[in-house]
Amino acid sequence: MKIGIIAKPNIVEPLDITQKLSIWLKDRGIEVFIEKDLGDKIDHPDSVDRVDIPELVDVILVFGGDGTFLGVARLACKHGTPILGINLGGLGFLTEVTVEELYPMMERIIEGDYEVEERQMLRTSLHRGKNTIETHEVLNDVVINKGAVARIIDLAIHIEDSHVTTYRADGIILSTPTGSTAYSLSAGGPIVHPKIPVTIITPICPHTLTNRPLVVSSDMKVEIQVTTHEPDTYLTLDGQIGVRLNTGDVIEVKRTDTSVKLIKSPFRDFFTILKTKLMWGERYGKIDR
């Protein structure tokens, strides 16, 4: 078995964890590949570039938060490599396993006693005139909004070639179920279970209050045309890739056949994480009578 390790850059905590874990895995006959920046710091013999790890290993361990996981997910999905997210702080929606649970989880992985859940992705294509400028796959969300100056922009929405509306808003979020607990939730979008095949369309502070979030089948093609003449309008993918947009640009979004394989935590399910992260059922104070 071959294990890859990738960590959030420029933090110290993964160094000690990775060094001890790589020795532990080697003692059990497991080959370990570590991303170069991290591996070089601990003098690991098999240090390779991050982009090469998914095709070399059977499982990838990601140390960090959900943001680190998103970046790795876009690399791993092309090879179908399962990912286990280990959170170095509190629980994440994607990094479900804590550092304390790492070794029990690794024993399960070595024994093959683990469950993989496939998470839907969206393919996003930017069309400018007759040309396709860029195409990306995202796990969380596609966001169109303004840059530094907060002004309303106009975005025409077509679903399956049918014009739905033209949003006048600060922007718009197209989210997968996985991304429903991220930016979309902050903008008033619904929480959607990861297994439901839908795309969530959430306007950001719409000028017309009747423009509410919309949930459609993920198999439907959604197109957003930038009709505003405001400069500095941007397309942001998973919060990590940014592209400046021009008036008339069309962003096409649809479910892709590619998916991210996430190794599920055996210690808690989606609803437990949801309650923990959102503090549902918590009592914030006691009234003395």
Q: What is the dihedral of CA 220, 256, 61, 267, to 10 degrees?
A: 30
Q: What is the dihedral of CA 21, 22, 25, 26, to 10 degrees?
A: -150
Token pair for 274: 């949801």
For 14, phi then psi, to 5°, come to -65, -20
Could you count the other beta carbons within 10 Å of the beta carbon of residue 118?
15
- CA distances, 132 to each of 127, 128, 236 (Å): 4, 6, 17
Element (H, E) at 109: helix 102-111
49 assigned to active site: no
- CA distances, 6 to each of 18, 30, 47, 204, 217 (Å): 9, 16, 11, 33, 33
Token pair for 267: 């210690």
Identify which of 206, 164, 216, 213 has the alpha carbon closest to the alpha carbon of residue 185.
213
The single residue of 27, 58, 66, 238 carrying the catalytic annotation is 66
Q: What is the DSSP letter of 173?
A: E
Could you count the other beta carbons within 10 Å of the beta carbon of residue 230?
14
Q: Give the residue numbers marked as catalytic.
A: 66
